[in-house]
Each structure stands twice: as structure tokens, then as C-alpha cells.
Structure 1
């Protein structure tokens, strides 16, 4: 049996749909995680922005996370650089301290800095003996040697209420600092 030919009829197809992918978003996230490789930071930010703008990207939150991670890496590197500059400046300050200066001690680094007398100072420097070269003998030995050097330099019997000293930490010792800052407390 045959059907009458009613002509050919075409049904319009749906317009082609763009496939949504997450490739750029995932790439931005991975590069953000790998921010310790410095070069990945700007690439992650650029790819993340492109992924957020592109309409065909899904999981845009991954791109945002990648950008945030990259920004956190920038902040971390900035802090590391600022800390290094601060350490370098304080090392120079150690070298600038001389007899007669009032000193303070940074609680975090142990480095000595010049301060205004009477304002949170350790005391007024009366001697700066240098401990002998060699491997770090341990904190107790360094403190004993520093105390002995400061007491002999003061020419007075020990009076812990008026004489103090700042001895080098192991980290400073490894950097070549052997100076002991002997100070008399200011009134």
C-alpha cells in the first residue's frame, strides 16, 4: 500500500548548542595551586579571567578559586621579600650599634636595633665583645661565654638588675654574627 505524496516537509532543527566545558576553569585552578612556580601566577589570573568571561565555561567557581590562590601567592611572596629586606636592614643595624648606643632586641628575630634610651631598651651598650669562631656551641654555652665577656668588660661584680647582654642565636651565629651586646640598664 502506498501513501499519497504530500511533498517533503522539513522540520527545522534546533540551532547548534555550544558545549559547555570547564577546561579553562580547571586550568586556572591548577595553575593557581602551582603558584610556587611563580610563572604560573599571571597565567592563572589571565586564564581565570577569560574563563569567567566566556559564556561556554561551566564551573566558573574554579576559575575564581584559581585567581584567589594566585593572589594569595603574590601576597606570600611579598611577605617573604619584605621579611628578607627587614632582616637585611636589621643586620646592617647590628653592625651600626656602637658603645654608648641604647639597644632593643626584636623578639621574633633576636636581632639588635638602636632605640631611643629609656623607651623599651635593653640598656646602654658599654662593650661589644666578639665570641670566637667555630661551630655553634649551643645556646647555654653561648650565654655563659656572653655573660663572662660582659662581666669582665664591666669590671664590676655581677648585678643582674643593672647589667644585661644580648648574645647571638644559632641562626645569627650561622650568618657570622658573634657579637655580644653588653648593656647597662638605663634608669
Structure 2
């Protein structure tokens, strides 16, 4: 037992030694993959970072968790952001090139008369020309040509001539137009640029009806059509094949 001592007397120290405090325990490092996944996921509005964000996010999940590196929340946040932007891009694609199966025939005139100035018909329309189309369905003799640089409803992206010599019927003609116009679209249309513009557009065609066919009008024009005349600028890729028929 230690007893109180008088003034000037050294105070006895208890038995033992005082060690300087040791270094604090090291905290687990934050996963670099988790940080990268979050950054790329947040940058998903640019489209290209989405795939790397998913890959790095999944890899970061295996690196993080109890007893492992920190950053699991960052990895989850990156995956969630990438998923959000993916849904947004899918919705945008559906909006801008929506209803691609909606192909309808819009028969031009029964014969090749000279169209009014500033208009074109089945015999004078050329792929690459932009015009105002009355509707995606119906029958009309001519379309009003317009500059591709200003707002317009449609652009002819190519043309083909059906192989039939006699009238094939509306359904058979439509089926052939669906296949041919899809092929021409994949070849001639700059779809990434069109989709990025946010414009609602549809793949359609203008083909002859029976009377026109029997009068020798056989050309079918494939078109990109915007119901609200929102197209501005050509939808074609540089060097698009504009021959008739499109090769």
C-alpha cells in the first residue's frame, strides 16, 4: 500500500512501465475498382462508359465487404447509376426509332405526269431528297420537296424495284418492302446520330398501288418519317448508296 508522503518527498510510482502508444490500427483501403465503377456509372449519360461500369462494379463487389476492402456502397452506387442510364438510353432508342415494324404503303400517282413545281412523284423522287409527307398512311400523287436543312417530315433513304412482273398484291409488296427497307436503313441511315437527336422517327415506304403498278410504276421508296416534322438535316451516312435500285 502506498502512503501519503510529506512535502518534498518523492511520490512512489506503482509497479510497471509506460509504453508509448502504438500506431492506430490500419483501416482497410477503399477499392479502386469501386471508385472507378461509380465514376463510370455516373458518366453513363455518355453511353460508352456503361459497359465498363457494369464490369468494374461486379468485380468491385467481390473485392469489398466485411473483412475486405471498403467501397461496397460505391460499387453498388455505380451499378445503380449504370442501370439507370441504361434504362434511359433504351427508352430514348424506342422513342427515336419507335415502331420500326410500322411499314405502310403510300401509293403515288397512277402514271408519271409532270408534278407541280417544288413537288415530286413516283417518277421524279430521288433517294436523299427531303419532303413533306401528308401522312404515313394513305394515297397521294405527289409530295412537296423541302430542304433537308430545315424541319421536314421525311427523307428518301433508298429505293428498290420488286422482282414481280405482275401485281404481287398489297401484302406481298408490304412484306418485301419490310425486308428491303430494313436492309437499306442499316446500310444508309446514321442511326446513332438520329437516336442521339431525340427525334421520333419511323421507317416507312412509299409504294405503288395496283393501278400504278399496271401503269408501269414499280419503284418503291424507303423513307424515314417523322410524324411531327422534327427531322433537321439528312439522316444518311456519308457516302450512302443512293442509286436506284439501292445496291
TM bucket normalised to smaller: 0.3 to 0.5
- Structure number with the higher helix fraction is 1
TM score, norm. by length of structure 1:
0.42
TM-score, scaled to structure 2 = 0.34
